[in-house]
Amino acid sequence: MKTQIRKQYAAATCFVVAVILAMTILSCGQMFTDPVQYLTMANADTNEIYFQEPLEADGVFSVSYTHSVNKTNVEEYYRLENGTLYLFKARYRSFGAGVATEIAPGQTLRYEDGYMIIENIHYALPSLVYKVGTVSDPLIHIGQQTWHMKELAPSLTSVRFTVQAK
């Protein structure tokens, strides 16, 4: 009888230890996963948040808009690296005020579907601010999803983009 009780006690102890071990492994696994990066668009003056969405694993998003002078589409691509936002690629149809007219050392220029694409730009941005227009409608792109800034924030508002881990 004592032997049977000892076996039951040993089996129960093993079960409890296995459950505690499994819970520990699961909770440690969650501690070591990378936090999700969220793109946040907020009012540049009041910090009121208008938009917050998770980025894909590569930390890339883009903003496209109609150029105010030459009235063609421009798309600027950003990536978070070590806590800093970088412009790493630009895509546009024609030259105009505020777009590159020559490339810097290490950058590449290629043409695709009527667009000029400059890659390997590695320009750190201490602050990324856009103005929500009244005529043009800047768009935010993350992966295959797109949002209209005019639907997220009032016209003529300056909005600041940041990336935060959660």
Mention every residue, 6+ apart, whose C-beta is less than 8 A from residue 45: 158
Residue 48 sits in the same domain as residue 62 = yes
Residue 121 sits in the same domain as residue 74 = yes
Report the pLDDT value the prediction gives residue 101, as an integer from 0 to 100: 66
Report the pLDDT value the prediction gives residue 134, as an integer from 0 to 100: 74
> Tokens for 49?
């948040």
- Under the banding of pLDDT at 50, 70 and 90, the label for residue 22 is very low
Residue 116 sits in the same domain as residue 148 = yes
Residue 83 sits in the same domain as residue 138 = yes
Residue 113 sits in the same domain as residue 127 = yes
Inform me whether the pLDDT recorded for 10 exceeds 50: no
pTM for this model (two decimals): 0.75
Number of domains in the chain: 2
pLDDT in tens, 41-81: 999 999 999 999 999 989 999 999 887 777 778 899 999 88
- Burial class from Cβ neighbours inside 10 Å (0-12, 13-18, 19+) for residue 132 reads buried
Report the pLDDT value the prediction gives residue 26, as an integer from 0 to 100: 45
Cα first-last separation, the chain: 56
Residues comprising the chain, all counted: 166
Residue 29 sits in the same domain as residue 50 = no
Residue 117 sits in the same domain as residue 51 = yes
Residue 5 sits in the same domain as residue 85 = no
Residue 43, number of CB atoms within 10 A of its CB? 16
Residue 5 sits in the same domain as residue 48 = no
Residue 14 sits in the same domain as residue 59 = no
Residue 52 sits in the same domain as residue 124 = yes
CA–CA separation, 36 and 33 (whole Å): 9
- Comparing 59 with 165, the larger pLDDT belongs to 59
Give percent above pLDDT 90 in the chain: 48
Report the pLDDT value the prediction gives residue 149, as an integer from 0 to 100: 95
Residue 5's domain comprises 1-33
Radius of gyration of the chain, Cα coordinates, nearest whole angstrom: 25
> Tokens for 2?
């004592």
Of 94, 131, 99, give the one whose Cα is nearest residue 114: 94
Residue 150 sits in the same domain as residue 116 = yes
Report the pLDDT value the prediction gives residue 52, as an integer from 0 to 100: 96
- Comparing 135 with 55, the larger pLDDT belongs to 55
